[in-house]
Amino acid sequence: MINGYLGVDVGSISTKGVIINDHNKIMAKVYLWTEGDPIKAVKKVVTLLEEQIKNKRIKIIGVGVTGSARKLIGTILGANIIKNEITAHAVGTLSIEPNVRTILEIGGQDSKIIILEKGIIVDYAMNTLCAAGTGSFLSSQAKRLGVKIEEFGHLALTSTNPTKIAARCTVFAESDLVHKAQIGYKQNDIIAGLCNAIVANYLNNVGKGKRIKAPIVFQGGVSKNIGVVEVFKNILQEDIIVYENGHLAGALGVAILSKDNSKEEEFNFNIKDIKFETRGVVCEGCPNHCDIICVYRNSKLIDSWGNRCERGKIE
């Protein structure tokens, strides 16, 4: 029996899970859509991961969770570590590219940049206010153009005259795209224009004021778009490293971090049939009127958070 560590990254668009061994090698991995229900998504991730390791004699003694729903899912999984996305992504990336100095990340609904020096985070920025230039934005535009998202990047590379698209706002970008298509711009030129606009938007907002130095790693779902990768290369005049499991960096990083706080108690994969429920409560104990989230396992309260004073504590 060998020790294993579970890492889960729960985002608004996708949920990722990995199981690693003591040498940080990925033994099992899952990537699927959250579909607005992080609890259901995590149950499915855990079930699929278990199927991949059931004949490998792996004992899970560490569980880490990151992502936008990390508090909720960490409670449900009984995680021994819950970390923010910046730390998790940095740790995961460093395990693959130890010399990385800049991490560019564009996910489903947000994007981030992480600056490192000698393996230490020295600066970072996130964009969570607008979905322009993210994976969900690209997917919606691909659907509008009648193109499979998997073909998006390759079509962009066939363009010799990219169309200028105003992509600082999703509403303006969509109306501009429709207008350009209606007046006769070629489809591949429009797609190339979108790739250019995404990179420009990212660098002018998320990357503004940041010193982007090589080695540069590009990760997140959009890193699979070769058109966007090529635009980053051309603008930054640097090689852009995209690795196979870049979309799993957060899950990988938090799995690695879980090793430092691992416990001898083995993780129980059997959560599929357990009923988890969340309820919102407004505390009336003081003028703050805190919104408190309560999490129940089979109708039993297991955790709550949101109170700003002891009057709102729920047990």
Q: List the domain boundaries for the chain.
A: 2-92+251-261, 98-242, 276-312
Measured distance CA(53)–CA(159) in Å, rounded: 44
pLDDT confidence band for 109 (50 / 70 / 90): confident
Mean pLDDT to the nearest integer, 254-272:
84
Taking 70 as the threshold, does the pLDDT of residue 132 lie above it? no
Q: Give 43-46's long-range contacts (Cβ < 8 A, gap of 24+).
A: 43/271, 43/272, 45/8, 45/15, 45/16, 45/17, 46/6, 46/8, 46/17, 46/77, 46/269, 46/271, 46/272
pLDDT at 91 exceeding the cut of 80: yes
Topology of domain 2-92+251-261, CATH: Nucleotidyltransferase; domain 5 (3.30.420)
**133 — pLDDT class (breaks 50, 70, 90):** low
- Where residue 128 falls among pLDDT bands split at 50, 70, 90? low
Distance CA 92, CA 152 (A): 27
Q: Would you say residue 131 has pLDDT above 80?
A: no
- The CATH number that domain 98-242 falls under is 3.30.420.40
**Is residue 105 predicted with pLDDT exceeding 70?**
yes
Q: What is the DSSP string of 211-238?
A: ---SSEEEESGGGG-HHHHHHHHHHHTS
Q: Which amino acid is at 230?
A: E
Between 287 and 214, name the one with better pLDDT. 214
Taking 90 as the threshold, does the pLDDT of residue 87 lie above it? yes
d(CA 217, CA 273): 39
Q: Omega of the bond prior to 215 within 30 degrees of 0, cis?
A: yes
Distance of CA 49 to the CA centre of its chain: 18
Domain 2-92+251-261 and domain 98-242 have a common topology: yes
Q: Which two tokens stand for residue 190?
A: 């429009």
Q: Which amino acid is at 303?
A: D
Highest mean pLDDT among 26-30, 174-178, 193-197, 269-273: 26-30
Q: Are 63 and 258 in contact (CB under 8 A)?
A: yes
Contact 134, 222 (CB under 8 A): yes
Q: What is the pLDDT of residue 68?
A: 86
Is the confidence at residue 168, as pLDDT, over 80? no
Question: 297 falls in which pLDDT band (50, 70, 90)?
Answer: confident
CB 132 within 8 A of CB 109: no
Mean pLDDT, range 188-209, rounded to an integer:
88
A 10 A CB-CB count for 270 gives 10
Nearest to 194 by CA among 143, 242, 243: 143
Angle at the Cα of 288 from the Cα atoms of 287 and 290, rounded to 5 degrees: 130
Q: What is the mean pLDDT of residues 40-56?
A: 92
What is the structure's pLDDT at 103?
Answer: 97
